[in-house]
Amino acid sequence: MIEFEAPKPIQMMDTALETVAVNMMRPKSRYFDEHEHEIPWDYINFMHMAMRQTGAGSLAPTEKKKVDEQGKPRPRIGYQQLAFTLERLSWGDVGMYLCTPGGGLGAAAVEAAGTPEQKEKFLARFKGDKPVFGAMAMTESQAGSDTSAIRAAAVLDRETNEWVLNGEKIFVTAGHKALCESDGFVVVWATIDPEAGRAGMRAFVVPANTPGATVTKLEHKMGIRASDTVSIVLQDARVPFENLLGSAEVVKEPTTKGFKGAMATFDATRPLVAATAVGVARAALEELKSMLAERGIEVRYGLPRQKMTNIEREVVDMEVLLKSAWLLVIKAVWMADNQRPNSKEASMCKVRAGDIVTKITQRAVELLGPLGFSRDYLLEKWFRDAKISDIYEGTGQINRLIVARQILDYSGRDLR
């Protein structure tokens, strides 16, 4: 049964997360927005130390105890806890949250597509003394939403038993920190059989400082400017055979383990992206209500809509949007924790959260007019931060297609 109240372990960490958001993130939001490629090391080092002290290791859905003190089975809440954490930190500053040390999408890909031995080997580096970052590289200039168009290639050198990777990846979140600023890695999606289409897709763990794997560009972005987004060129980059996640066997069917591994990664992470969007939307809505209250405009809850002012109705409608998006997130992460297929729910909450964060932040700016547009306040920044939630890890249009296919029981070929 889905619980709408946060589990007690999550409630207990709320105060700590709010303290970080209020005292460490909000005061630096504007600075790192204006100094885009400067890394927030104070925040990174603090979070690394805090996660080590609490045993978290990194922002990952890991749980140590399977039973409680009485020996009864303990409910799995790893993804739920992560969703609450990300919502709170994104309320503080979503760009800085994206700089939190840990595996990120790279670790999620290892979890989704790797063998038990690979998980143990590659994820252990996030438990060390220094902050470490992971990233995932899938997008190419001709392959955004259409992953079957990926051209990056991996060829096995049988003499050395190494994979040789060539290609270029763009819009890699945290790619610079993963390859150049820590002992991390980037999970690169490439094809081992171009004629097999999606069946030939595989994920390769490319460790930091691998010769031939080079960061060639740091993007200048509209929002989430504290987070680095890069282009990576692979030129005869060699990785050991065992750095391929899963099997190297190509079975030429519409979907295979390689492509399913990519999609399973997104089923796990799209609800978490949605949680970050909810955090940004909540920040904007709370700031709007606070600034209205300072000017004598309070929302009179409980009145019929026809007796409310237009601003009151708009605020109430925004609160409904916010709560509906959050409930979809809770359902999707609850299903992930209980190991239930959640592809439809993951895409649904991603669509909804991407929509509402854009609408709420835009309307908050509009209702406050010059104050909302002013850089003296963070509302305009949250407006710029918001849109990416509807774009990365599957655009709103693609996720709508996924939901429609799931509801109508259509394949990708049937409904494009």
pLDDT band at 256 (very low <50, low <70, confident <90, very high): very low
The CA distance from 398 to 312, in Å, is 34
Q: Do residues 112 and 261 touch, judged by C-beta distance below 8 A?
A: yes
Per residue in 191-227, pLDDT (tens digit) is 999 888 888 899 999 999 999 999 999 999 999 999 9
Per residue in 235-251, pLDDT (tens digit) is 999 999 999 998 888 76
The CA distance from 233 to 2, in Å, is 44
pLDDT exceeds cutoff 50 at 293: yes
Q: What pLDDT was estimated at residue 113?
A: 86
Q: All domains of the chain, ordered by start, with CATH?
A: 8-102 (1.10.540), 106-245 (2.40.110.10), 257-408 (1.20.140.10)
**pLDDT, mean of residues 259-264:** 62
Dihedral Cα 251, 257, 259, 263, nearest 10 deg:
160
* Residue, of 141 and 264, whose pLDDT is higher: 141
Mean pLDDT of the chain: 90
pLDDT exceeds cutoff 70 at 20: yes
**pLDDT, mean of residues 161-182:** 97
Active site residues: 393
pLDDT band at 260 (very low <50, low <70, confident <90, very high): low
The CA distance from 204 to 185, in Å, is 10
Per residue in 74-106, pLDDT (tens digit) is 678 888 999 999 999 999 999 999 999 999 889
Residues 6+ apart with CB under 8 A from 414: 405
Burial of 212 (0-12, 13-18, 19+ CB in 10 A): middle
pLDDT exceeds cutoff 90 at 259: no
pLDDT band at 254 (very low <50, low <70, confident <90, very high): very low
Burial profile 133-158: b = 16 or more Cβ within 10 angstroms, e = fewer: bbbbbbbbeebeeebeebebbbeeee
pLDDT exceeds cutoff 70 at 255: no
**pTM recorded for the entire structure:** 0.91
Per residue in 53-71, pLDDT (tens digit) is 876 655 655 555 565 555 6
